[in-house]
Structure 1
Amino acid sequence: MTETTAQSNDSDCSTADSDGEVAREIAIVSFERKRETAEEIQDGLADDYDRIDILEYHGEVFEEHWGAYDCFVGLMASGIAMRKTAPLLDDKWADPAVVVVDEELTWAIPLTGGHHGANQVAHDLSTMGAVPAMTTASEAAGKQGVESRAKALGAHVVNGDSTVATNLAVLNDELGPVARLDGPRAVLVDDDVTVLKRNAEDGVVLGTGSVSGARAEQFLTAWRDALDAADRSPDDVEFVATATRKEGEEGMLEAARELGVGVAYLDKETLLEFEGPTPSRSKELIGWPGIAEASAIAAGREHELLVEKRRHDDAVTVAVGR
């Protein structure tokens, strides 16, 4: 059983549908007099989303387009957005996220769907000067809820009702790492167990290690070279996997953000179970196996190594697994 912690580095509004596909479409709802600000938001977020439309506000605009977008950004008073969207809300796992922002881009306030895109959109708006007002408990406490962990692992939550209990455990530091079970298996779980399922069917995982302080560009060069060797592209990457002792490596996190993926941290016991074929001195010196290969094998869906460990600049190691 593999156990991981995960950190999301996505900057998108991603929601997985029943087939596991990730959609990234938002609508900015604006009064005509605020059109210039709406276009500023559209331009500012264009690189992070597949589609951004501007809809002119009228009384039924939310109702007419409900379900057509993953997120609505209401360029209006929060009271208007609340009154118009409240009667449409049905299921937090199916409803689009709703964020409001003022014309001066001072505040970005997630109203609904905080864990399902609204918090991320508010965070993206902070790059334009707006202060994101997160009120979901885990984010307010500076912790990562299970929905965010799922996103970091390229997965989605299967049994949404469980997240009330598991996010409470996150707040109390009681949840622990995500446990992976390889199938075919039949699993009986209680209502307070959240089940995650991968989105992609044939993606790859980048297993990586580094010297302390390695730069983002060194990670990116190493990762792209390894993907070329595997005849894969950055779009094929589900997430980056590494060892728990590498948590906090800013260069790695910055590179993962650039690639648009999350980072999963695997514990020592898991990595020892999936040790790779290339000898590593770290096992003799500190008892850890070679991080790159072990991470790629352990985190891959098939536990299969596509590209053995490669080194770049004597700073970053990388292997590709699936």
Structure 2
Amino acid sequence: MMTDKNIAIIAFRRDEAKAGRLQQHLDADLLFYDEGVFEKALSYSAVVAIMAVGIAVRCVAPFLRDKWSDTPLVVVDSNLTFAISLVGGHHGANELALKLGEFGLVSVITTATEAHQRPSVERITKQLGARVVNRASTKSVNLALLKDDVPVVYLSGPKIVLVDDDVSVVEKKDLRGKFIVGIGAHRNINSDKVITSIMMALESAGVSIDDVSFFATAELKKGEPGIIGAAEHFAKPLVYVSHDVINMMNPPSASKAVRLGLVGVCEPSALAVAYKKTIVLPKQIYGDVTIAIAK
């Protein structure tokens, strides 16, 4: 993951004053252009090159391998007008270009999902604190995400999973300290009601939205616009938990979902994904919405 403490800025000496302004904004190291500067800069976690795009392309080309290992590179013109995400857009360059936008530059991002304001596998994976196992799949899945929402489905093991090449398999990392918001709602619920319910539940639990890893609900809620809208509002990934996994949980509250063959929705969904399998806030009923929080 890109960190501001590991950014290199490459600039010509004539642009030292302008580079210094960006250096302060990014808390970065400033390297002056010479024959071997790109090789040195690419050892950083991200690079900002203040120069023409053509120069940057010719300098970085010999070091490019693939998008998973290339160092994110943003090119900035010498007038500090544009911040162009050139290499590694989904792996830090887009984020860096947007950060430069906070400084007044125009962020230029050309990755298709971002250009169309759609999520990407890489961004969802980052939000989940996970890693992509079958990297080649992201091309197909990102193309699908351009057209429609693609569900995130959580499976707990032990299991053997056989998938097609248009299914991205992501493996979660350590979720200790992260909260999971489980959501249940009546069909065709308004997203504003779900958003308000989540905010009320977080306040009751004393949990900040920044400490929430993602939202979870039952697979039967797949495609429910109110829940999807709430996830988009808070910029949190939404995980659909399979019914088999839900029924393996032991939620503390009774649920009308037993009529659908489930032990519950909001509580078992949160429990299924949570690291400690501990309910922080038991099921709260807000009209047609139920919320539970687990850790």
Name the TM-score, length of structure 1 as normaliser.
Answer: 0.68
Pairing 1:40–2:21 present: yes
Does structure 2 conserve the Cα–Cα contact (< 8 Å) formed by 1:152 and 1:239? yes
- Please tell me whether residue 99 in structure 1 is matched to residue 74 in structure 2: yes
Q: CA deviation at 1:218?
A: 7.3
Are 1:122 and 2:103 matched, yes or no?
A: no
Displacement of 1:252 after TM fit? 6.4
Question: Superposed, which structure 2 residues align to 1:90-239 within 5 Å?
Answer: 90-173=65-148, 176-200=150-174, 202-207=176-181, 214=196, 225-226=206-207, 237=211, 239=213
Instruction: Give 1:320's aligned residue.
Output: 294
Structure 1: distance between partners of 2:241 and 2:200: 25
**CA offset digits 1:286-313 (Å, max 9, x no partner):** xxx674x4553133246x12423398xx
Farther-moved stretch of structure 1 (113-122 vs 189-198): 189-198
Given the superposition, is the C-alpha separation of residues 57 and 131 from structure 1 closer, same or farther in structure 2, using an over 3 Å criterion?
A: same
- Change over 3 Å in CA distance of 1:290–1:158 after alignment to 2: closer
**Aligned-pair distance for 1:100?**
0.7
Change (3 A) 1:130 1:216: farther
Distance in 2 between residues matched to 1:76 and 1:24, nearest whole Å: 22
Q: How big is the shift at 1:113?
A: 0.8
> Aligned partners of 1:294, 1:310: CA distance in 2, in Å?
10
- Contact 2:216 2:239 (8 Å CA) reproduced: yes
Residue in 2 that maps onto 1:75: 50
Query: Which residue of structure 1 aligns with residue 214 of structure 2?
Result: 240
Cα distance in 1 for residues equivalent to 2:150 and 2:231:
23
- Secondary structure in structure 1 of the residue aligned to 2:48: strand
What do you get for the CA RMSD once the two structures are aligned?
Answer: 4.0
Larger-Rg structure: 2
CA deviations 1:109-165 (Å, max 9, x no partner) are 111111111111112222222222221122222211111111121112122222122
Deviation (angstroms), 1:208: 6.3
- Between 1 and 2, higher relative CO (CA 8 Å, sep ≥ 6) is seen in 1
CA deviation map 1:244-274 (0-9, x unaligned):
6344459962xxxxxxxx6122459769756
Equivalenced residue count is 272
For residues 61-116 of structure 1, the C-alpha deviation after alignment (integer angstroms, 9 at most, x for no partner) is 111232x2221111221111111101110122111111111233321111111111
SS state of the match for residue 126, structure 2? helix
Q: Label 1:199 to 1:69 Cα distance change in 2 as closer, same or farther (>3 A).
A: farther
Contact 2:253 2:283 in 1 (8 A): no
Find the partner of 1:308 among 262, 278, 281. Answer: 281
Look up the match of 1:259: none
Q: In the superposition, relative to structure 1, how do residues 153 and 59 fare at CA in structure 2: closer, same or farther (>3 Å)?
A: same
The one-letter code sitting in structure 2 at the alignment partner of 1:36 is A
Distance 1:295 1:88 in 2: 44
| Pairwise CA distance, 1:319 | 2.3
CA contact (8 A) 1:207 1:320 kept: yes
| 3-state DSSP of counterpart to 1:197 | strand
Which runs of no fewer than 5 residues in structure 1 stay unpaired? Answer: 1-13, 16-21, 47-51, 228-233, 254-261
Contact 1:30 1:75 in 2 (8 A): yes
Indicate conservation of the 8 Å contact 2:252/2:282, yes or no.
no
- Counterpart of 1:58, as a letter, is D
CA contact (8 A) 1:219 1:252 kept: no
Larger CA deviation: 137-146 vs 293-302:
293-302
In structure 2, distance between residues paired with 1:220 and 1:56: 48
Hey, what's the Cα distance between the residues in 2 that align with 1:205 and 1:24? 27
Q: Percent identity, aligned pairs only? A: 35
Q: What SS does the corresponding residue of 1:93 show, helix, strand or coil?
A: coil
Contact in 2 for aligned 1:71/1:97 (Cα 8 Å): yes
User: Paired residue for 1:56?
Assistant: 32
- Any conservation in 1 of the 2:154–2:239 contact (CA below 8 Å)? no
